[in-house]
């Protein structure tokens, strides 16, 4: 007799610290049993494979408009690529126009995602200077299932310290979580001006205009502002030890400060900006790639738990868009893609290289991002959780290239990288998204996830 709709049989199941050989039974879209000798209407042999929760990417920019440009991946292509790489939930962003109520902006973004997404999704609400008069709308956004709020300390829509404080206070009162892109915009602008005035226009001047020292300073300021507002805070895309040190020091004092890093900071370095032509422009992202020596600090921080999350900051502008601004590094659109490869990159270069255990890999890519962002039924293999599951083949050799990846962009910084390990099957709420490496989902299958703390 079949007790389950589906059973993943005999895999190595990662459940927090425990990694056990077991069957995972799925019923009605939920994980319903973890034991031996389970039987289901459909049974999949997972012998030799690792069964993990679906990975959770809490930092992606799909259909992301910057001025006249939009990122290449929309909610279909981006979430399909994510699913092929084992990611079953993403969190994207909402940005309101100056006079637009925050709820209206959220509604518009819902409309874009609902018909196209193949995996589940949520949104961070962005707070820009024109949203400061709208802070009384924060509780309504939290109530609508979006309890995390993005703040920029860089770009034209950056917030000043007083605005950050006001926003943090409003979010704390509403029970939400502030998130920050931490850089020192005044210093960046001064350095950019100096470099351009001296004719230093090439991409190699991008990292030289955004020093790690000042990323550390900005993160320190954010942490102090969060302490003043008595709120937890989450710091996006940590690129360097100068930020790790601040986060670790605050956490050692008991302050609830969290940080993520991304594959580009763990695996790539600032020598890429030295390449001639558009090759030097493609890696432009902010904060910039840092010297190779920073990578060991980031891996160690992930292993210790001073950084809690690996996300992507997937932000794929086309090669032509990067090339069009080559004469001035400060005008090159920033952002790099990795929505498809993150989970497997973290496996090969984390677990495979002995930097992370299997449990740490799952914690950083699945469980902790779900917990920190209020995804209460995601990110764990436990009875009652959504049956978002990955059957990961640890022996599968994959060479990354734009031809084999499904991200809708004509370049990748990982071309030629050889991975050992890739998701063979991906399930979302018990439904097949990827079977034997082939996408079998459909647009609109993804659901908005109402998040709460
Ligand atoms: O350069 C980057 N990271 N672009 C994406 C937007 C952001 O700052 O997260
Ligand atoms: Zn950012
Ligand atoms: Zn981002």
For ligand 1, pick from 90, 183, 315, 336 the residue to mutate: most ligand atoms within 8 Å of CB.
315
Q: Cα(61) to centroid of ligand 3, in Å?
A: 6
Q: Report which protein residue has its CA nearest ligand 1's atom 4.
A: 335
Q: Residue 51: is its pLDDT beyond 70?
A: yes
Calculate mean pLDDT across residues 313-342: 98
The environment of the single-atom ion ligand 3, i.e. residues with CB closer than 5 A, is 313
Q: Report which protein residue has its CA nearest ligand 1's atom 9.
A: 313
pTM assigned to the model: 0.98
Residue 217 has, within 13 A of its CA and on its CB side, a CA count of 12
Instruction: Classify domain 4-52+381-439 by CATH architecture.
Output: Roll (2.30)
Q: Residue 369: is its pLDDT beyond 90?
A: yes
Q: Which residues line ligand 1 (CB under 6 A)?
A: 61, 181, 285-286, 313, 315, 334-335
Q: pLDDT, tens digit, for every residue of 246-263?
A: 999 999 999 999 999 999
pLDDT tier, 34 (very low <50, low <70, confident <90, very high otherwise): very high
Q: pLDDT, tens digit, for every residue of 169-216?
A: 999 999 999 999 999 999 999 999 999 999 999 999 999 999 999 999
Atom of ligand 1 nearest to the CA of 333: 1
**Rounded CA gap, 397 and 428, in Å?**
24
Atom of ligand 1 nearest to the CA of 334: 1
Q: Cα(95) to centroid of ligand 1, in Å?
A: 14
54-372: CATH homologous superfamily?
Answer: Metal-dependent hydrolases (3.20.20.140)
**Three-point CA angle 412, 418, 420, nearest 5°:** 125
pLDDT at 2: 82
Q: pLDDT, tens digit, for every residue of 259-314?
A: 999 999 999 999 999 999 999 999 999 999 999 999 999 999 999 999 999 999 99
Q: Contact at 8 Å (CB) between 292 and 269?
A: yes
In the chain, where the domains are located = 4-52+381-439, 54-372
For ligand 1, pick from 334, 336, 339, 409 the residue to mutate: most ligand atoms within 8 Å of CB.
334
pLDDT at 1: 66
**Rounded CA gap, 236 and 307, in Å?**
10
Q: pLDDT, tens digit, for every residue of 195-204?
A: 999 999 999 9
Q: Cα(238) to centroid of ligand 2, in Å?
A: 10
Calculate mean pLDDT across residues 317-322: 98
Atom of ligand 1 nearest to the CA of 236: 9
pLDDT tier, 67 (very low <50, low <70, confident <90, very high otherwise): confident
């Amino acid at each position: 007799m079949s007790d389950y709709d589906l059973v993943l049989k005999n895999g190595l199941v990662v459940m927090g610290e425990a990694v056990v050989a077991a069957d995972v039974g799925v019923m009605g879209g939920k994980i319903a049993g973890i034991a031996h000798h389970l039987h289901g209407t459909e049974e999949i042999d997972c012998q030799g494979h690792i069964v993990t929760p679906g990975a959770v990417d809490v930092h992606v920019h799909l259909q992301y408009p910057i001025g006249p440009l939009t990122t290449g991946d929309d909610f279909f292509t981006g979430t399909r690529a994510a699913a092929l790489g084992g990611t079953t939930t993403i969190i994207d962003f909402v940005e309101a126009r100056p006079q637009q109520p925050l709820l209206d902006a959220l509604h518009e973004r819902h409309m874009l995602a609902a018909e196209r997404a193949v995996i589940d999704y949520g949104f961070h609400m962005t707070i820009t200077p024109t949203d400061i008069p709208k802070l009384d709308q924060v509780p309504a956004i939290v109530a609508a299932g979006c309890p995390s709020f993005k703040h920029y300390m860089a770009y034209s829509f950056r917030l000043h310290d007083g605005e950050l404080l006001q926003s943090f206070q409003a979010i704390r009162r509403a029970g939400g979580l502030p998130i920050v892109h931490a850089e020192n915009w005044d210093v960046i602008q001064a350095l950019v001006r100096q470099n351009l005035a001296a004719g230093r226009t090439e991409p190699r001047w991008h990292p030289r205009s955004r020093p790690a020292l000042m990323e550390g300073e900005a993160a320190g300021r954010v942490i102090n502002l969060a302490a003043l507002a008595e709120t937890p805070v989450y710091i996006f895309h940590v690129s360097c030890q100068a930020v790790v040190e601040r986060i670790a020091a605050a956490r050692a004092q008991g302050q609830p400060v969290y940080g993520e890093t991304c594959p580009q900071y763990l695996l790539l370095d600032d020598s890429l900006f030295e390449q001639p032509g558009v090759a030097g422009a493609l890696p432009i992202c902010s904060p910039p790639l840092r010297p190779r020596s920073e990578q060991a600090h980031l891996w160690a921080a992930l292993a210790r738990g001073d950084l809690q999350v690996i996300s992507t900051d997937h932000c794929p502008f086309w090669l032509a868009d990067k090339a069009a601004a080559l004469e001035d590094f400060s005008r090159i659109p920033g952002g790099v893609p990795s929505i498809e490869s993150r989970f497997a990159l973290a496996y090969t270069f984390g677990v495979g290289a002995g930097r992370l255990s299997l449990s740490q890999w799952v914690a950083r890519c699945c469980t902790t991002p779900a917990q920190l962002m209020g995804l209460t039924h995601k990110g764990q293999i436990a009875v009652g959780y959504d049956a978002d599951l990955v059957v990961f083949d640890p022996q599968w050799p994959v060479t990354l290239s734009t031809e084999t990846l499904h991200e809708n962009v004509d370049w990748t910084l990982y071309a030629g990288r050889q991975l050992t390990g890739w998701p063979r099957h991906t399930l979302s709420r018990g439904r097949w998204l990827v079977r034997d490496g082939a996408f079998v989902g459909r647009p609109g299958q993804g659901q908005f996830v109402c998040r709460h703390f």
